[in-house]
Amino acid sequence: MRKIIFILLFLTNFPFLKAQSITQTPEWKQLLTDLKTEKWQEANDLSNQCLKTAIATEPGSNMIPILRYMVIFSESGLMNDGKLSQEKALLAVKGFEGMVIALPGHPISVKRGFNSITMHDEKTDSLFITATNSAATNIFAFEYVALRDVWPVDDFKNNAGKMCRLSGTLTSITVEGHILPRFRIIISDGQYQILN
């Protein structure tokens, strides 16, 4: 089930997108494959390449916030695998602070778990995700999303099990952990969208 969720992570969880030229390229298709198969170096190279292309050719594209997150996620994969120092990984993504990022879709859950959206401190003004690899054996990020508008608790609970996409302004990104490093991501002005 986690493998299916991870595959859907980048393939189908952004229905608000219109057809964009970057998504029509072979590089985009290969990027999705590399993320799915956890080829972090290749995914990192392609996500950075696609981000630069989108910024240059489609500056208002909804793909840009998604690509920023793909860069962050692949940097964390490299850092977690010990192929990139914490300092270099952080330097590669620190420039995204103050910019909008869009997280992939995750299932809503009333219980804390991996790769799911949960309440933070039992409240729905902030949400929390523990982002991991597809096998949930490596933690890549602790993601905190402070919502622009409070999500009513009953509505949150009634949507448990449904896929949801979060986006907002990246307020802060830091590195935690020494043996198993991961990003700590703080997002403000967050918004949520139920996907199914």
Please compute the mean of the pLDDT values over residues 82-102 and round it to a whole number. 97
CA pair distance 117, 11, nearest whole angstrom:
18
CA pair distance 119, 108, nearest whole angstrom:
9
pLDDT tens by residue, 19-62: 447 888 999 999 999 999 999 999 999 999 999 999 999 998 99
pLDDT tens by residue, 103-126: 999 999 999 999 999 999 888 999
Task: Check whether 16 has a pLDDT greater than 50.
Answer: no
